């Protein structure tokens, strides 16, 4: 089992599709083990997007990510990091496959609805960035046999 981080970006909130997007993860069989609404500070955003902070478009990313609160989620499942990235789709909503969240709900590189950790190591760092250990819950997923059988 892995836990990974998803951020439902301001574009998801403003488009009023939070429920639909969360529902996709739930229906896949992922277990929500942490979830809260927060504002992203300048400091946290700089660390989170440190690989983009020197790009000319960083200011636009910052404005976009601070346009409203975001919802951060911790999702648990077998191979969850990879599974969630696949459900999310590639960065540019115009290139993302139909059936993915970005492919179905966005037509923009920037306003692409969700962030998802891109590796197991990144997930550990990002979960620790947004959640304290007591905000990640360990509870039985009662239908786990129907979700995985003996995988
Ligand atoms: N982004 C952007 N323009 C770009 C590249 C990225 O606006 O040319 C934004 C976009 O919202 C993206 C985020 O910055 O989701 C982080 O970019 P990254 O390359 O890490 O892609 P991701 O992991 O989100 O697919």
Residue 16 lies in a domain: yes
Residue 73 lies in a domain: yes
- Kindly give the distance from the C-alpha atom of residue 10 to the centroid of ligand 1, in angstroms, as a whole number: 14
37 pairs with which residues across the strands?
Answer: 71
Residue 98 lies in a domain: yes
Alpha helices (H) in the chain, listed in sequence order: 10-14, 18-28, 42-48, 58-65, 80-88, 101-105, 120-130, 144-148
Residue 36 is assigned to a ligand binding site: no
Question: Rounded to an integer, what is the distance from CA 34 to the centroid of its chain?
Answer: 12
Look at residue 108 and tell me whether its pLDDT is greater than 90.
yes
Exposed / middle / buried, residue 113 (Cβ in 10 Å: 0-12, 13-18, 19+): buried
Domain that holds residue 118: 2-135
ipTM score assigned to the predicted complex: 0.98
Residue 103 lies in a domain: yes
Which residue in 97, 112, 119 sits closest to 5, CA to CA? 119
CA 10 to CA 66: how far, in whole Å? Answer: 7
Q: 38 in ligand 1 pocket by Cβ < 6 Å? A: no
Q: 143 in ligand 1 pocket by Cβ < 6 Å? A: no
pLDDT of residue 150: 81
pLDDT of residue 107: 98
Q: How large is the average pLDDT for residues 28-34?
A: 98
Q: 102 in ligand 1 pocket by Cβ < 6 Å? A: no
Q: 52 in ligand 1 pocket by Cβ < 6 Å? A: yes
To the question of pTM greater than 0.90 for the whole model, the response is yes
pLDDT grade, residue 41 (50/70/90)?
very high
Could you tell me the CA-to-CA distances from 38 to 5, 27, 88, 103 in Å, in that order? 14, 24, 21, 25
pLDDT (tens digit per residue) in 111-142:
999 999 999 999 999 999 999 999 999 999 99
Domains in the chain: how many in total?
1
Residue 114 lies in a domain: yes
Which residue in 97, 73, 92, 66 sits closest to 25, CA to CA? 73
**What CATH number does the domain containing 23 carry?**
3.30.70.141
Please state whether 147 falls in left (phi above 0), alpha (psi between -120 and 50) or beta: alpha
Residue 141 lies in a domain: no
Residue 130 is assigned to a ligand binding site: no
- Kindly give the distance from the C-alpha atom of residue 5 to the centroid of ligand 1, in angstroms, as a whole number: 16
Residue 77 lies in a domain: yes
Residue 18 lies in a domain: yes
Look at residue 151 and tell me whether its pLDDT is greater than 90.
no
């Amino acid at each position: 089992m892995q836990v990974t981080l998803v951020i439902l970006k301001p574009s998801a909130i403003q488009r009023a599709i939070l429920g639909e997007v969360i529902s996709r993860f739930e229906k896949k069989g992922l277990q929500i083990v942490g979830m809260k609404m927060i504002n992203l500070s300048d400091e946290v955003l700089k660390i989170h997007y440190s690989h983009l902070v020197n790009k000319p478009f960083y200011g636009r990313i910052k404005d976009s990510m601070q346009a409203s609160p975001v919802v951060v989620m911790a999702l648990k499942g077998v191979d969850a990091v990879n599974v969630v990235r696949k459900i999310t789709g590639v960065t540019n909503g115009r290139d993302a496959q139909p059936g993915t969240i970005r492919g179905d709900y966005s037509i923009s590189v920037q306003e692409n609805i969700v962030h998802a950790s891109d590796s197991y190591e990144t997930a550990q760092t990002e979960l620790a960035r947004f959640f304290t250990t007591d905000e990640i819950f360990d509870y039985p997923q009662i239908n786990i046999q129907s979700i995985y059988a003996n995988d």
